[in-house]
Amino acid sequence: MKNFGLIGKKLEHSYSPLVHKMLGDNISGSYNYELLEVEEDDLETLIKNDKYSGFNVTIPYKKLAMKYCDEISKEALEIGSINTIVKVDGKIKGYNTDYYGFNYLLKSNNINPEGLKCIVLGSGGSSLTVQAVLKDLKAREVVVISRSGANNYKNLNLHYDAQIIVNTTPVGMYPNSGVSLLDLSKFENCRGVVDLIYNPHMTRLLIDAKIKGIPHVGGLEMLVAQAKKSSELFKGFKINKNEIKRIVGNVKDETLNIILIGMPGSGKSHIGKMMAESLEREFFDTDKLIEKREGMSIPEIFEKRGEEYFRRVETEVLKEVCKEKKAVISTGGGIVTRDENYPIIRENSEIFWIKRDLKDLEVKDRPISLSTPLEELYEQRKELYKAWSDKIIDNPKGSNYSFGIIKDDCYIDNRWSVLVINGPNINMLGIREKGIYGDKSYNTLNKMIQEKANKLNIKLEIFQSNHEGDIVDKIQESYFKGYDGIVINPAGYTHTSVAILDAIKAVQIPTVEVHISDVNNREDFRKVSYVREACVESISNRGFKGYLDAIDFLYENYSD
Ligand SMILES: Nc1ncnc2c1ncn2[C@@H]1O[C@H](COP(=O)(O)OP(=O)(O)O)[C@@H](O)[C@H]1O
Ligand SMILES: O=C(O)C1=C[C@@H](OP(=O)(O)O)[C@@H](O)[C@H](O)C1
Ligand SMILES: [Mg+2]
């Protein structure tokens, strides 16, 4: 197996081995990928070491490494920085795939610098690439801010009119997270903040942007996009662009914590434990950690040391536990009472608000709930729970929620998604008119569709109903759930339903109409399809395979 690696000075933060493993494992041609921390004096020897067939290059060597290349791509030469090295026929060739990565990041997040004033923090190799992309996308002005340049952090007031801010420095990066170079409140015209850092997922700069309601994005998509391009150079063949989205989702699954917040007694500890078991993750409960640390129960801590002391310890414990990766963390209901807790829990997590009716909240052993009316407590906290969380999980009393049900609501799955809808009598497949529809069952059909989705690694939901209104409801729901495509066999409603036609038109999601039989060569009334005009494709007479072809069609034409 060939050896590749990431060259840099400090690499503790890097997700590159994870990303390259995913790129190597899932698309044929895996390779070894190592972190190669090196001092400047040893850079040349490392690059020339025959053990390695190529490298990625990061801070601070993106400019310097060019010196040891025999050839440099035109693009990299123009930018003045490389991030990829490949050895071909004994020659060391340098490339810049960061350009592609940064461009991808902006485009996929609808950040358009055209006509805008941009400031770029940092003046290293990545900064050069960022500047090139911003200029190519017609930014009005690109100002580089660096510690010792003409534009620096002391005269930043000259650029408080900046509209886009891009951080290319390592300030705020793991393990030294939680710091930012700027006071964002000074930038009143700012309408986009990009941080190339991807670990933590949300740097302090990005958290500040989120608090201010400014569109913002971190560097994970850029990391994966540039890695995909580099991997193509390493392996010598193209990789589907859809892999970027898939791997971004997988990296999030591998690195983000799930954090549960919400009113005391709402079920955070209970659900957290179930989630952790089901997702095979480690589980932490901040109250339990506090009790262990203090050697006292929560009521005892409140009684002996008071609430202020408890809150201080709680923040300390949060700081520790939020350094975990891929854990499930239940918090105490009061963490939202301290502003300083927000950036701590926000850094690397998906945050869920567990909700339950006030009358059903458990109050036992909860000193705050016993001393303050729950309505009052909820008034004080509800806006904070809402603002701090990404998603809500309803946990009504007596619902007997198993994690399986909750999981659908909260599991983080960013893959390209398709909804398959079947209309009336399709559930009777295998029983009904076998001469027309075949003898295979509805379950067999679903299995085939699921296998197809697994093969393409897409998210799938299958729905069947005999009721027109339910089908309309489902189509509408697909809009709010953000499905990328719909495959529909409206069955008998094909030839009658204006309501289903209107629903497809309303959601504007690419939809393929499927019929198992040859509808055009049966009764005349089957030749009319109301839904057809709203569909991007119509497939009939291909049996169950029609559904698989429909998924292929959508995936090939609409997944980029
Ligand atoms: N979904 C659920 N199913 C069964 N019992 C639950 C559920 N959610 C909460 N409970 C119970 O309600 C009580 C309070 O839940 P807990 O997880 O301790 O709340 P929190 O951590 O939010 O204070 C516990 O007795 C817990 O077992
Ligand atoms: O809401 C609160 O202020 C508190 C909630 C409790 O945790 P739970 O939310 O798990 O009950 C515990 O941290 C402490 O009693 C204070
Ligand atoms: Mg709890």
At 457-514, the pLDDT tens digits run 888 999 999 999 999 999 999 887 789 999 999 999 999 999 999 999 999 999 999 9
Tell me: pLDDT of 405 over 90. Answer: no
Please give the pLDDT value at position 260: 97
Q: Which of 93-97, 177-181, 400-404 has the lowest mean pLDDT?
A: 400-404
Contact 372, 381 (CB under 8 A): no
Round to whole Å and give the CA distance between 222 and 431.
Answer: 52
Round to whole Å and give the CA distance between 325 and 327.
Answer: 6
256-394: in CATH 3.30.300.30: no
Q: Hey, whose CA ends up nearest to atom 16 of ligand 1?
A: 267
pLDDT tens-place string over residues 209-245: 999 999 999 999 999 999 999 999 999 888 888 889 8
DSSP string, 65-85: GGGG-SEE-HHHHHHT--SEE
Question: What CATH fold (topology level) applies to the domain 417-558?
Answer: Rossmann fold (3.40.50)
Please give the pLDDT value at position 26: 58
Cα 480 to middle of ligand 3, angstroms: 31
Whether the CB of 285 sits within 6 Å of ligand 2: no
Cα 271 to middle of ligand 1, angstroms: 7
Please give the pLDDT value at position 354: 92
Please give the pLDDT value at position 369: 92
What amino acid is encoded at 139 in this protein? A
Please give the pLDDT value at position 406: 47
Contact 57, 107 (CB under 8 A): no
Q: Hey, whose CA ends up nearest to atom 12 of ligand 2?
A: 332
Specify whether 309 is catalytic. Answer: no
Residue 141: strand pairing partners: 117
Average pLDDT over residues 252-281: 92
Please give the pLDDT value at position 27: 56
SS3 per residue for 475-495: HHHHHHHCCCEEEEECHHHHH
Question: What band does 411 get if pLDDT is binned at 50, 70 and 90?
Answer: very low
CATH of span 111-214: 3.40.50.720
DSSP string, 152-207: -SSSGGGGTT-SEEEE-S-TT-TTS-S--S--GGG-TT--EEEE---SSSS-HHHH
Which residues, 6+ apart, have CB-to-CB distance to 107 below 8 Å?
Answer: none
Average pLDDT over residues 398-406: 51
CATH of span 3-98+224-241: 3.40.50.10860
Average pLDDT over residues 155-182: 96
Specify whether 159 is catalytic. Answer: no
Contact 282, 410 (CB under 8 A): no
**Catalytic-labelled residue, pool 515, 530, 547, 555:** 515
Cα 333 to middle of ligand 3, angstroms: 7
What angle in degrees, to the nearest 10, is found between the helix axes of 442-456 and 545-558? Answer: 30
Within 10 Å of residue 374's Cβ, how many Cβ atoms? 19
Query: In the chain, what percentage of residues exceed pLDDT 70?
Result: 96
482: left (phi over 0), alpha (psi -120 to 50) or beta: left
- Domain residue limits, the chain: 3-98+224-241, 111-214, 256-394, 417-558
Please give the pLDDT value at position 533: 97
Q: Best substitution site from 270, 278, 400 to test ligand 1's pocket, by max atoms within 8 Å of Cβ?
A: 270
Tell me: pLDDT of 272 over 60. Answer: yes
Q: Hey, whose CA ends up nearest to atom 10 of ligand 2?
A: 332
Q: Which value does ipTM take for this structure?
A: 0.96
In 15-149, the DSSP E strands lie at 32-37, 54-57, 71-72, 84-88, 91-95, 117-121, 141-145
Tell me: pLDDT of 407 over 50. Answer: no
Tell me: pLDDT of 74 over 60. Answer: yes
